[in-house]
Structure 1
Amino acid sequence: MRDLHQVDGHTLILLRNGEEYFPRLIATIDQAIRSVCIETYIYAADTCGYQISQALQRAARRGVKVNLLLDGFGSAGLPPEWVSDLRRAGVEVLWYRPERSRFSLHRNRLRRLHRKLALVDERIAFVGGVNILDDTPGDRINAPRLDYMVEIQGSTTEYVSFVMKRLWALVSWRNFKRQREHIKLLLTHKSATQHDVTLVLRDNFRHRRDIERAYLKAIASARREIIIANAYFLPGQNFRRTLIEAALRGVRVVLLLQGRVVYRLQHFATLELYDDLLRAGIEIYEYRASYMHAKVAVIDSYWVTVGSSNLDPFSLFLAREANLVVRDARFADFLRADLLQEITYGARLISLADWQERGIWMHFLTRVSYAITRFLVGVTGCARGHGDAQ
């Protein structure tokens, strides 16, 4: 069991990877009395997915109300028979923007449900970046993906409940499951209470830039150290400028990024940012021990965010995201120590000298990848209303 942290009337547990998260989630579902709600981008038909499906079915059969909201793109590979088994047991399953065609070029296709949230009995919530899929990626890599979730008990779960119910009502409405309580929820607006534990959202309505603004405010006020671990790092000019300004005023800025590549185009576009960042004195580490999926940050050993939002156009300008922001020295030190250990034993430092020695071909590849990515950002509408999206 990871350490319990008491913060502003909340009990928090930092969970590292699915290895710690999934057993906690299943145990909590098995103890559910009234309700279980889960939102996820990827729900895989693997051992982990099967175990959670069984837990959801057990809960539904004993009379617990179970809602499962899946992204129509990320979870498109879930076999229909799995969904049928869940529904037969009494689990309500809805799809967020189901895929009509894999060849669709509609720009709204990229507006995905990327949040990873779970709520049991409206009392225990889980927020973070872990999808429902096996922890070890294979490819001769035995170490689990680097990722985090936070288990929460406290008043913030009331807001988690509200945002999950509201999205469920919205998706139900779109699927013509129109009920009176859905209309009431869709017409209701509720803001997160400003505790030292706060859920911060990104959507395409009221919260378009809330997560980005939370980052920028914390970075701009940093005095000693900024550690950002992020799987897909391609922020806009304003974000990069704020990071560079922090480094130039003497703040230690550390970026832990992917070393094992998942999407090559985006990876090479990210590399195009290295030169300016390294020249400003920012430390860049590439994670090699396994695949990097974390979306976390620790600033001045006090401000922490753990969530689903990458620092790229997809997360910052298109997808529905959810990050937890915690202001607490002990919780921050706990995550900071974990990140520093991964940096020390699982990552490779990229030095400015080594980077400047890259060949002409690599220079060309990163420049072209960045240009293509900027073009795609414009085509998909990411940059509309966001002049710093590049």
Structure 2
Amino acid sequence: MNSAVEHIATDQPPDEAKARDLDYGWQSGNQIELLENGEAYFPRVFDAMRAAQREILLETFILFEDKVGNELQGILIEAAQRGVKVVVSLDGFGCGELSAAFLKTLADAGVMVQMFDPASKTLGIRTNWFRRLHRKIVVVDAEVAFIGGINFSADHLGDFGPEAKQDYSVQVTGPAVADLHHFALAQSGRQVRTRRGWRRRQQRPSPWATDSGEGLVRLIYRDNLQHRDDIEEAYIYALSKAKKRAVIANAYFFPGYRLLREIRNAARRGVQVQLIMQGQPDVLLAKLAARMLYDYLLKDGVVIHEYCQRPLHGKVALVDDDWSTVGSSNLDPLSLALNLEANVLIRDRAFNQQLYDSLATLSKNHCQVIPAKDKPRLWLWRLTVGFLVFHVMRHFPALTGWLPAHKPRLKPFESQAHD
């Protein structure tokens, strides 16, 4: 029995982690830096971990035993051996191929490894597809945090080849790191001290800060308890406020009707709305689903680009000159209705411009524009089918007992069973 490697629950929080149900407010005075792809992300995260003195908290959907995963393993082991508390939470589906030897090496060095809702293969196939831990968060010494869509795998590096992913994360320093630290502790099942500023609020803070100052950051997340729609509502609210421009770059785009309607309505009132979608998909079904919605959006002036250089994996958006969001959440039924996700909302003009410039370069140099048709055909039929498909996917897991709509308990992991 190895108590350093555990299974963690999906939806039911332990009593000491009731902070999961808190609403995190806007924090001012932060420094936010956009990190594009693994070339920018991995060196920054690894340097922060190497400099850690007290604690490393890490959550990721995917960790592979490749050059990135092996480097991460070595850094975490070295940190644990010099007395840093290291807690690593991995998804049981995305990290289901990790070897027992890889995990045991971490645990033997003193790293607390947790596996979120793992399941054995059935006839050689993994069936625990739904309600995944899809967040990507790193917090070091409660002083610097990273959040976005980048996993710990070599396919986020350009030298991986044509299948290398285009993706984004952010580095945050400042008061908002305390919220990310508090959240990461609570989600990992660690003991959390409730302090002033993390009280249960009667009303959730607005996705649009009342102050348009610089360096404003707010953590939002999606769970299967009290925060099922927070990320979706943030997109809807921001788009309803849009006056000038809105850019959404999202890998898997198949939102519900309310969000789809808000995108269309923004374009109708003269907002320059641009979507950047997958043109070279890593999941063909995702591209086909998104294209079912194109006619509905194009006829009202939404500009759609498909990124064709390599698979788009980003989950970012911006509205007007100072609102942005970066995180793990796609705009599809898995992220909006099933998975555990986390984004940050940002009110900062410099960051908004940095993200806009990056996406503008992407759309100008590496995308193809989807032409608007004079008389879109079958758009109503496609929208109807899309609406039905979305809601079937949204509610199907809750209606069928054999899909993982369950609440597994926290229990020790027996490493011998995986040798």
TM-score normalised by the shorter chain: which range applies?
0.7 to 0.9
- The alignment status of 1:315 with 2:332, answered yes or no, reads no
Structure 1 270/160 Cα, relative in aligned 2: closer, same or farther at 3 Å? same
Cα distance, 1:104 vs structure 2: 11
- Other-structure match for 1:30: 50
CA shift at 1:264, angstroms? 2.1
Q: 2:188 aligns with which of 168, 178, 181?
A: 168
Answering whether residue 319 of structure 2 is matched by residue 302 of structure 1, we say no
1:141 paired residue number: 162
Q: CA contact under 8 A between 1:123 and 1:154: conserved in structure 2? A: yes
Deviation string 1:111-170 (CA, Å, 9 cap, x unpaired) is: 11100000000111001110110124778517x421111111111111111111111117
Residue of structure 2 equivalent to 1:379: 396
Distance 2:389 2:319 in 1: 32
Note if 1:258 corresponds to 2:278: yes
Residues 373 and 220 from structure 1, CA distance in 2 versus in 1: closer, same or farther, beyond 3 angstroms? closer
Give secondary structure in 2 for the equivalent of 1:352.
coil
CA 1:327–1:319 in structure 2 vs 1: closer, same or farther (change >3 Å)?
Answer: same
Deviations 1:61-94 (A, max 9, x none): 1110000000001110111111011111111100
Give the deviation of 1:266 after TM superposition: 2.7
Matching residue within 270, 284, 287 for 2:304:
284
- For 1:236, the equivalent position in structure 2 comes to 256
Distance across 1 between alignment mates of 2:387 and 2:322: 34
Q: For the Cα contact (< 8 Å) 1:107–1:381, is it kept in 2?
A: no
Q: 1:103 to 1:310 in 2, by over 3 A?
A: farther
* Structure 2 residue 270 is matched with structure 1 residue 270: no
**SS at 1:169 equivalent:** coil
C-alpha deviation, 1:356, in angstroms: 5.3
Q: Detail structure 1 runs of 4+ shifted over 6 Å in the superposition.
A: 103-108, 182-185, 191-195, 363-370
Partner of 1:50: 70
> Identical aligned pairs, as a percentage?
35
Distance 1:48 1:354 in 2: 48
What amino acid sits opposite 2:256 in the alignment? Answer: G
Shift of residue 8 of structure 1?
3.1
Provide the C-alpha distance between the structure 2 equivalents of 1:287 and 1:54, rounded to a whole number of angstroms: 35
Look up the match of 1:353.
Answer: 373
1:366 shift after superposition: 10
Report the secondary structure of 1:353's partner residue. Answer: coil
Q: Return the alpha-carbon distance in structure 1 between the equivalents of residues 283 and 243 of structure 2.
A: 34
Task: Output the aligned Cα RMSD.
Answer: 3.2
Equivalent residues of 2:279, 2:287 under 8 A apart? no
Pairwise CA distance, 1:308: 0.4
- Alignment counterpart, residue 220 of structure 2, candidates 190, 200, 204: 200
> 1:110-129 counterparts in 2 under 5 A?
110-129=130-149
Deviation larger for 95-104 or 330-339: 95-104
SS across alignment from 1:163: helix
* Alpha-carbon distance, 1:353 to partner: 3.0
Greater CA deviation, 107-116 or 262-271? 107-116
Q: Quote how far apart the aligned CAs of 1:9 are.
A: 1.5
Provide the rounded CA distance (Å) in 1 between the counterparts of 2:260 and 2:381: 22
CA contact (8 A) 2:31 2:174 kept: yes
For 2:30, the aligned partner's letter is: H
Partner residue of 1:16 out of 33, 36, 39: 36
Q: Deviations over 1:316-360 (max 9, x none)?
A: 111111101110111100110000000000111001239959xx9
Cα 1:223–1:266 change in 2 (3 A) is: same
Q: Which amino acid aligns with 2:79?
A: A
Q: Alignment partner of 2:185: what SS?
A: helix
Cα drift, residue 189 of structure 1:
6.2
Preserved contact between residue 275 and residue 355 of structure 1 (Cα < 8 Å):
no
Q: 1:155 aligns with which of 158, 164, 175?
A: 175
Q: Which residue of 2 aligns with 1:131?
A: 151
Q: Alpha-carbon deviation of 1:381?
A: 3.4
Quote how far apart the aligned CAs of 1:302 are: 1.0
* 1:162-196 Cα deviation digits (max 9, x unpaired): 111111117xxxxxxxxxx47999xx965698782
- Choose between structure 1 and 2 for higher RCO, CA contacts under 8 A separated by at least 6 residues: 2
Q: Does the CA contact (< 8 Å) of 2:39 and 2:157 recur in 1? A: no
For the Cα contact (< 8 Å) 2:247–2:273, is it kept in 1?
A: yes
How many residues are matched?
A: 360
* Conserved 8 A contact 2:37-2:157: no
Match of residue 225 from structure 1: 245
- Partners of 2:172 and 2:373 in 1: CA distance: 44
* Range moving further from structure 2, 367-376 or 88-97: 367-376
Between the aligned partners of 1:85 and 1:190, the Cα distance in structure 2 is 40
Unpaired segments of 5 or more residues in structure 2? 1-26, 210-214, 400-419
The match for 1:177 is: none
TM-score of the pair, normalised by structure 2: 0.79
User: Conserved in 1, the CA contact under 8 Å of 2:338 and 2:394?
Assistant: no
C-alpha contact (below 8 Å) 2:247/2:274 kept by paired residues: yes
Query: Retained in 2: the 8 A contact 1:268–1:365?
Result: no
Q: Give distance in 1, aligned partners of 2:40 and 2:384.
A: 40
- The 3-state SS of whatever aligns with 2:34 is strand
Rounded Cα–Cα distance in structure 2 between residues aligned with 1:355 and 1:284: 17
